[in-house]
Amino acid sequence: MASHSIISSSTSSGTNMTTFSVNGDEVSLSRALAWSSVEDPEPFLDLTVERAVLVQYSIHSGIELTADDLQQAVNEFRYEMGIDSADETRRWLKANHMDERAMADACRLRALRSKLLLAIEDTQIAETYQQLATELETASLYAITLPTRREAEKMADQLRNGTLNFHLAALEHSTDETTRPAAGYLGEVTRADLPETVAISVFSVDPGDIVGPLKNGTEYDIYLVSGFQKPPIGEVEPEIRQSLLAEQLGILARQAVVMTGN
């Protein structure tokens, strides 16, 4: 038989919850905070501080919301949660011990975050993109894995002088079960995807060059660097904006003075 928990809340005013009651047992907010601090990967108090400084930073930055901004945030939230009707909204609010005003206030955070993201200057985006250019660069990489250095060195020489086709050699001779069926294709890789010594070698050659053999455990790898790519700034701009805002909010959260009431 499925268990059924009854959860209620005590409030000082409106939806300002101070205690929970679970199956008749009272749980204070301070106790819930302590549980979260010990049990949760991201404790409730830490997340709350981050959200509070987001609101404060929005005010400091002169961010203002229109009714349309707030309504859009509410609509986006309802869409993400699959809340399609007024009845479903009421059921969700009841299940989460909230009223419509509390829901709108919570969605205000989403609207403020969106405004703050858009407020980041394009020049800051461009500067960050340039700083991350090396980190974002990828190499189109192919690999052949062989059991001995002697075999690998012989094959690398043949590949370099053009007497052997890399892709055919990978299909016929590579011992790597993952890349061999793909003619040696390893993927689009960043420096962080590779061991440091391999990354240094791969990203210091020209497209079309052969790298190796390089020792990999008990075997040896030969690489073909097909080309290099950097994502256009427009492709990574949303990620950069998120990163810059998270960095700023993280600084403010660490500087915040947090006190608890009785």
**For 58-75, how does the pLDDT look when each residue is reduced to its tens digit (9 = 90+)?**
999 999 999 999 999 999
| Residues 95-143: tens digit of each pLDDT | 888 888 888 888 999 999 999 999 999 999 999 998 888 888 999 999 9
Distance CA 255, CA 261 (A): 19
Model pTM above 0.75: no
Mean pLDDT of 3-10: 44
Right CATH for 138-229 from 3.10.50.40, 3.40.250.10, 3.10.129.10, 2.60.40.10? 3.10.50.40
Q: Quickly state the pLDDT bin for 15 (edges 50, 70, 90).
A: low
Q: Quickly state the pLDDT bin for 224 (edges 50, 70, 90).
A: very high
Q: What is the DSSP string of 170-213?
A: HHHH---TTTGGGTTEEEEE-GGGS-HHHHHHHTTS-TT-EEEE
| Residues 190-203: tens digit of each pLDDT | 999 999 999 999 99
User: Left if phi > 0, otherwise alpha if psi is -120 to 50, otherwise beta: which for 252?
Assistant: alpha
Which residue has better confidence, 109 or 7? Answer: 109
Mean pLDDT of 164-172: 95
pLDDT, the chain, mean: 88
Domain ranges of the chain: 138-229
Mean pLDDT of 31-45: 84
Query: Which strands sit side by side in the sheet containing 7-11, from one edge to the other?
Result: 7-11, 17-22, 25-28
